[in-house]
């Protein structure tokens, strides 16, 4: 059955490739990018390849909570159902300098977690118009203990990493928070025909290269794709599409997926008290409290 899928981060990378794959399978795609030009360019590129593709451009800068609010409210007021809200947009910061959004929030946390948190809340009316809706958010196995690089270390007294900032830690902490958001959302959706899941698309060097510069960009674009731990765009988007629309997941929520099957998340991600604590913090930071 055809679904209406809102995809964030559709202007480039995995978001755009996922939007293209969903449209090719007959789904209606609301392609969301940071700017109007980026959204329209991506939409037109997909439709040139597939004239029958049902893709509609949308635009919102997820680093601005004001823009997220404006977009979410306007989209909900269209009165149309959204069957799948697919949060693909995200950043992998490489700068050692802690960066803040226009709202004064640490950028990685803001884009990877706070924006999806707020947008989901605002789009609940549209999701509730669907007979069976899904919220799918991109997570990462890097939230697991022992993953390469700086370890996960989520300090509730320093959520925004004002002290001891490290870009790898910021990213991993954000992906742990994605798991808390997903599992807590599923608990709070009890009794509604909406499910919440997270998905790890794997490490895709060719898209991650967009966040880097110079020699690092060349290394990620041309060397890392040949490493055994790397994932192709095709395989990554298969995982995203599976979690978003596969009929076998109807009614299935509160899970973590990768390679088109359920995978384990960390013990900390299943801590109900910590998930509830983060939810309260997110409500405060996004103004939903």
pLDDT at 94: 84
> What integer is the mean pLDDT of 77-91?
98
Maximum pairwise Cα distance, the chain: 52
In tens, the pLDDT along 3-28 reads 999 999 999 999 999 999 999 999 99
Whether the predicted pLDDT of 226 surpasses 50: no
Query: Contact, 107 vs 63, CB < 8 A?
Result: yes
The residue behind tokens 């794959």 is 21
Bridge partners (DSSP) of residue 134 are 84, 195
**In which domain, by residue range, is 163 found?**
4-286
**pTM, rounded to two decimals:** 0.93
Structural domain count of the chain:
1
DSSP code per residue over 108-170: HHIIIIIHHHHHHHHHHHHHHTSSSEEEEEE--GGGSTT-SSSPP---TT-TT--SS--HHHH
pLDDT band at 1 (very low <50, low <70, confident <90, very high): confident
Instruction: For residues 134 and 5, give the distance between their C-alpha atoms in angstroms, rounded to a whole number.
Output: 9
Instruction: For residues 108 and 103, give the distance between their C-alpha atoms in angstroms, rounded to a whole number.
Output: 13
The residue behind tokens 């991600």 is 269
- What three-state secondary structure class fits 94? coil
Residues with catalytic function: 171
pLDDT at 218: 52
Structure tokens at 281: 């913090």
Strands 194-200 and 255-258: parallel
The rounded percent of the chain whose pLDDT value lies above 90 is 85
Name the DSSP letter for residue 189: T
The CATH number of the domain holding residue 222 is 3.40.50.720
- What three-state secondary structure class fits 42? helix
Radius of gyration of the chain (CA): 18
In tens, the pLDDT along 249-271 reads 999 999 999 999 999 999 999 99
| Residue (of 83, 88, 77, 144) closest to 116 by Cα position | 88
| Residue (of 171, 59, 156) closest to 110 by Cα position | 171
CA distances to 62, 66, 205 from 103, rounded to whole Å, are 11, 9, 30
């Amino acid at each position: 059955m055809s679904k209406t899928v809102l995809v964030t981060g559709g202007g480039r990378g995995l978001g755009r490739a996922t939007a293209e794959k969903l449209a090719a399978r007959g789904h209606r795609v609301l392609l969301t990018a940071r700017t109007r030009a980026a959204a329209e360019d991506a939409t037109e590129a997909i439709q040139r390849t597939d004239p029958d593709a049902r893709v509609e451009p949308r635009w919102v800068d997820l680093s601005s909570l004001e823009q997220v609010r404006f977009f979410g409210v306007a989209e909900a007021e269209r009165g149309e159902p959204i069957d799948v809200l697919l949060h693909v947009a995200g950043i992998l910061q490489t700068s050692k300098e802690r960066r803040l959004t226009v709202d004064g929030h640490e950028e990685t946390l803001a884009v990877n977690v706070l924006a999806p948190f707020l947008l989901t809340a605002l789009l609940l009316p549209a999701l509730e118009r669907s007979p069976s809706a899904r919220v799918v958010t991109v997570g990462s196995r890097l939230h697991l203990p022992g993953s390469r690089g700086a370890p996960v270390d989520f300090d509730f007294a320093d959520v925004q990493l004002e002290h001891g900032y490290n870009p790898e830690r910021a990213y991993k902490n954000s992906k742990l928070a994605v798991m808390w958001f997903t599992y807590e959302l599923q608990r709070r959706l009890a009794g509604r025909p909406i499910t919440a899941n997270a998905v790890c698309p794997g490490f895709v060097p060719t898209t991650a290269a967009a966040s880097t510069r110079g020699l690092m960009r060349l290394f990620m674009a041309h060397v890392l794709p040949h490493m055994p731990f790397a994932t192709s765009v095709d395989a990554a988007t298969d995982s995203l599409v599976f979690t978003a629309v596969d009929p076998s997941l109807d009614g299935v929520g509160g899970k973590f997926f990768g390679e088109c099957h359920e995978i384990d998340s960390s013990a900390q991600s299943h801590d109900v008290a910590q998930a509830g604590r983060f939810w309260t913090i997110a409500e405060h930071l996004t103004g939903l409290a």
